[in-house]
Amino acid sequence: DVKVTQSSRYLVKRTGEKVFLECVQDMDHENMFWYRQDPGLGLRLIYFSYDVKMKEKGDIPEGYSVSREKKERFSLILESASTNQTSMYLCASSFKAGRYGYTFGSGTRLTVV
Amino acid sequence: GENVEQHPSTLSVQEGDSAVIKCTYSDSASNYFPWYKQELGKGPQLIIDIRSNVGEKKDQRIAVTLNKTAKHFSLHITETQPEDSAVYFCAASFHYGNNRLAFGKGNQVVVIP
């Protein structure tokens, strides 16, 4: 079964820590995305990538960076975690060509204390 | 960019009744409209999608209709069951490349037994 795997379901980190959220997909998808989900705000795009070593800012990139060294892996980095980054983080992937839906991971619930 | 509005934000229905969620989109060039279901503690899952060359698509108890002229599309769930309780997201494709989707803010559906 094809899937998008996020390395952690729950994380608790301290303010100021550098945090890595990892996402791996096994579908050979070109596109990968990072979203955060907060009550009443829906899915907000942080960063996305169309190809290896390529990245583009989404709607709320401040305080985040990303890395895509291999096609199957897309990492979200919180350089210095803050309490307002407490959220559910969702990774997704899709084919590049044509119009196809995204496949989402199960999410990582991050709490910054 | 594309803007997707989703209504109502919360919907409660009696078990066995039908539920309808409506979305409007802004970009007349959008041509792909998926619907996602998110159960508690899980990532969104694609449940049905429709392309702009089709007006209606059905899969068992769920159906999606598309009105390109009015730029709106709807999810219909018939004979609702408790397991249909979830958050539902609609999305519409950006008209320019690389398969980006714009998401609505989500709709909480509660099926009352």
**Neighbour order of strands in the sheet with A73-78:** A4-6, A19-25, A73-78, A64-70
Higher pLDDT, A88 or B1: A88
Q: Is the pLDDT of residue B99 over 70?
A: no
Please give the pLDDT value at position B94. Answer: 77
Classify strands B10-14 and B45-51 as parallel, antiparallel or unpaired.
unpaired
B85 sits in which H/E element:
none
Cα gap B34→B91, rounded to integer Å: 6
**For residue B32, which of B70, B66, B77 has the smallest C-alpha distance?**
B66
B84 backbone dihedrals φ, ψ, rounded to 5°: -80, -10
> Which of B 94-113 lie inside 8 A of A, CB atoms?
98-101, 103-106
Please give the pLDDT value at position A88. Answer: 97
**E-strand spans in chain B?**
4-7, 10-14, 19-25, 32-38, 45-51, 56-59, 62-67, 72-77, 86-93, 101-103, 107-112
**For residue A71, which of A101, A108, A32, A21 has the smallest C-alpha distance?**
A32
Q: What is the pLDDT of residues B13-52, one digit of tens each?
A: 999 999 999 999 998 888 899 999 999 989 999 999 999 8
Please give the pLDDT value at position B8. Answer: 76
| pLDDT cut 90: percent of chain B above it | 76
Cα gap B50→A68, rounded to integer Å: 31
Q: Which two tokens stand for residue A60?
A: 């709320």
- Please identify every stretch of chain A with a pLDDT value under 70, giving residue numbers as ranges: 1-2, 97-99
Higher pLDDT, B83 or B54: B83
Q: Is the pLDDT of residue B97 over 60?
A: no
Distance of CA A59 to the CA centre of its chain: 13
Can you tell me the mean pLDDT for B72-92?
Answer: 96
Can you tell me the mean pLDDT for B40-66?
Answer: 94
Please give the pLDDT value at position A18. Answer: 97
Q: Give chain A positions within 8 Å (CB) of B36.
A: 101, 104
Q: Which residue of A has its CA nearest to B49?
A: A101
Single-letter amino acid code for the residue at A14: R
Please give the mean pLDDT across all residues of chain B: 92
Q: Which residue of A has its CA nearest to B103?
A: A43
Can you tell me the mean pLDDT for B41-64?
Answer: 93
Out of A31, A90, A105, closest to residue B99 by CB:
A31
- Cα dihedral: B95, B100, B106, B109 (round 10): 90
